Structure 1
């Protein structure tokens, strides 16, 4: 049997962080994200984890006789979906960009407005034992929020779809990890 049994990953823990676009990351991978105050954690995430989706158009070109000779790819889109379990100020801001919360005399007043575009940076930090992977998304935006149930039978949760925007040199995200199995030669 070929392969290395140490290479498969089971991400047993994760955090999602957000900050204004162009916010610096902590200096080292083992530095906690909170060492840079602009990074805010969304809090507890669903045990279902995060999922990454890809969408793009492709056009196939054929030679006479039906032989495929080329495929043109365009309109590439990448997104990450995660379910936030906490109802906190960070999640409120992602779900309702442009809305406000004011606290006076022990009462929080949430004024929810029609969402406006709110590009942000994100970090999805994953852990498998001593292995940490920090996926830095320099520019993204919450572009979809799933149905939020308000009941006694279901826990309130916020399904967020984050659309990734490429940089001028086509970078969608950068992964940083301390996984020796992924080390470049």
Structure 2
């Protein structure tokens, strides 16, 4: 956590130090979900006057298509891998809470978007097929935690449709 990402989209994430790639993700992309409690308050006669919101939770779900050390660490935090004489031994322990930073990079033609999640945690792992006919994929649900200013994540992109008009010169 606290690792900086490139401030522009021309520098690849691979140029940023302190980041490890999860690898290929499913072509289904990522999905974001919101969950919160809300209570409506009404005045006499049934007129809505206020909605109180609480317990806001945001998650992102992705499916990792690679079984590499980064994915192993996210799926099994606190577990270890060792290699001796060409043989890998994975010792899987009961998962411990481990908050880390995430970056999702989405590319659509000439438009690139990076979503930087300063603090998140894999809180759910979907069923993992163990067969010769199915691809071993890891569906990961990442719970996003807000910082002290209630910021969940930052998006940077080069989409001209989302640009804020610059003020006129001299104004």
Is residue 2:64 matched to residue 1:84?
Answer: yes
Aligned twin of 2:123: 143
Q: TM-score, normalised by structure 1?
A: 0.87
Partner Cα distance (1:57, 1:151) in 2: 40
Q: CA RMSD in A?
A: 0.9
User: Which TM-score applies when normalising by structure 2?
Assistant: 0.94
Give 5+ residue unaligned stretches, structure 1. 1-20
Q: Distance in 1 between matches of 2:10 and 2:81?
A: 33
Using the TM superposition, give the Cα deviation of residue 47 of structure 1 relative to its aligned residue in structure 2, in angstroms: 1.2
**Residue in structure 2 matching 1:154, options 131, 134, 159:** 134
1:1-185 maps to which residues of 2 (within 5 A)? Answer: 21-185=1-165
1:68 to partner: Cα distance: 1.0
Please give the per-residue CA displacement for 1:46-75, whole angstroms capped at 9, x wherever unaligned: 111110000000000011111111100010
> Deviation per CA, 1:16-49, whole angstroms, max 9, x where unpaired?
xxxxx00111242211111123111111111111
Once residues 49 and 27 of structure 1 are traced to their aligned partners in structure 2, the CA distance between those partners, rounded to angstroms, is: 23
CA distance in 2, matches of 1:162, 1:93: 14
For 2:168, the equivalent position in structure 1 comes to none
Structure 2, unaligned runs of 5 or more: 166-171
Give the paired residue count: 165
